[in-house]
Amino acid sequence: MNQPQPHARNATEPDAATPDTQPAREARRAPGGFPVVGIIGGGQLARMCAAPAAELALTLSVFAESDDAAAALVVPHAPVGDYRDAEQVREWARGCDVVTFDHEHVPADVLAALEADGVALHPRPSALRFAQDKLAMRQRLSDLDVPCPAWAPVSTSDELSAFGEQHGWPLVLKTPTGGYDGKGVMLVRTPDDADAWFAQADGAPLLAEEAVAFEREIAVMIARSPSGQVAVWPVVETVQVDGICTEVLAPAPDLSDDAAERITSAAITIARELDVTGVMAVELFDVGGGEFVVNELAMRPHNSGHWSMDGSVTGQFEQHLRAVLDLPLGDTRARAPWTVMGNVLGGEYEELYPTYKHLMARDPGLKIHLYGKGVRPGRKIGHVNVFGDDLVGLRARARHACDYLQGTVTE
């Protein structure tokens, strides 16, 4: 890995090191010198890159989980493979000029193999690590004096008890890797609550954090290019129910300019010091009095940035493509005084097409974004955006649209 080999772009001959069982069909490029952006993972984040990629004449190549993955339905070049299989991923990456991610679950050995091949990965594994491993993230942010909840690695029930004695009960216990949407996070009221997790961790440390008494959750999205250019969107409020984001208000209401500036500044520090490339979400707790602590980092387009697709001059998916290609970044200003995003969760209705007709008739200004996914109760299957001057009215419109698509209201 210390002597990276040149990355063979546009290779048509089989690589001696790679079995020729999966001939790499190349994605078809637009003429004019435009690159191929590879995305590992075919979920909705990859899917939503398709529109800005087409506008900019960029070609996407999606390494998909299945041929009915959200992105595979709308991207012509979406070979199916296993992102845990380094050889499959390496073979595919030979046809890409840059590789980025739909999710943060690509194993370290696969990332290392790609890096050794000289593939341009963004974010780089050295940065991505801090989004994949919450213990590493907490250590690094603390070193940078970015406000965090009190935290400690805990490997035993005794260590957990000691942390609880110091910082109070209940506390929050997290698996350092693999969690999302409330999974891998537990509110621990007594040390016994964590017995099963410690048994499963088998000696590996878990992350204990104080249960922060926050007033609300907020988030900020930032883009950073390999050249070091950064662009930050307005700070937003994220409303969570049962650990899942249901609503985003952009900008965050009643946030002082001073607090917004300090949050933006923290995001820039994190992006720069962790050498983030691409877009990153910084999720925070607003603890009142203009103070905040960082909750999570995500180094990819993020739910808290979906509002930007209709609400900002440059949406997060366009910006992510620009950032990973080291193109100059776009204007992140809001286009309307308020934009409200509502997440559409699966409900009882499987037939969404007849359902959304009614929404279109009721609200001609509603921007519907569906992911092409089958309905399962609670699954994120899309989102809606509305924008305008009246925050209360916008929230009611977004809420109604989501409830109607979920089937929890019927008119």
Residues between 85 and 114 that touch a second copy (CB under 8 A): none
Is position 13 annotated in a ligand binding site? no
Shortest separation between residue 356's beta carbon and a second copy, angstroms: 8
What x-and-dash track marks residues 11-50 binding a second copy by CB under 8 A?
-----------------x-xxxxxx-----------xx-x
| The only residue of 185, 211, 336, 391 in contact with a second copy, by rule CB under 8 A | 336
Q: By CB under 8 A, tell whether 369 contacts a second copy.
A: yes
Q: Are strands 380-388 and 236-241 parallel, antiparallel or unpaired?
A: unpaired
**Whether 328 contacts 374, CB under 8 Å:** no
Q: Is 309 left (phi over 0), alpha (psi -120 to 50) or beta?
A: alpha
> Which of 8, 11, 73, 391 lies at the binding interface for a second copy (CB under 8 A)?
73
Report the C-alpha dihedral over residues 365, 359, 349, 352, rounded to 10 degrees. -60
Smallest gap from Cβ 338 to a second copy, in A, equals 14
350 is a contact residue toward a second copy (CB under 8 A): yes
Q: Which sign, positive or negative, has the C-alpha torsion 287, 45, 310, 370?
A: negative
User: Least separation, in Å, of the C-beta of 387 and a second copy?
Assistant: 8
Contact between 301 and a second copy by CB under 8 A: the answer reads: no
Q: Judged by CB under 8 A, does residue 180 bind a second copy?
A: no
Which residue, 117, 122, 86, 126, is CA-closest to 1? Answer: 117
The annotation status of 295 as a binding-site residue, yes or no, is yes
Element (H, E) at 370: strand 367-370
**Residue 385 in marked binding region:** no
Give the bridge partners for 334, in sequence order.
312
Distance CA 299, CA 308 (A): 16
- Residue 364 lies near a second copy (rule: CB under 8 A): yes
- Cβ(183)–Cβ(244) below 8 Å: no
Is residue 289 close enough to count as binding a second copy by CB under 8 A?
no
187 contacts: CB under 8 Å, gap ≥ 6: 170, 171, 172, 173, 211
Q: Which residues ranging from 194 to 233 are in contact with a second copy (CB under 8 A)?
A: 231
Establish if 268 lies at the interface with a second copy (CB under 8 A).
no
Quote the DSSP letter at residue 14. P
The annotation places the binding site for ATP at 134, 174, 209-212, 217, 295-296
| Contact positions vs a second copy (CB under 8 A) | 28, 30-35, 47-48, 50-51, 53-57, 59, 67-68, 72-76, 78, 231, 313-314, 322, 327-331, 333, 335-336, 350-354, 356-357, 360-361, 364-365, 367-375, 382
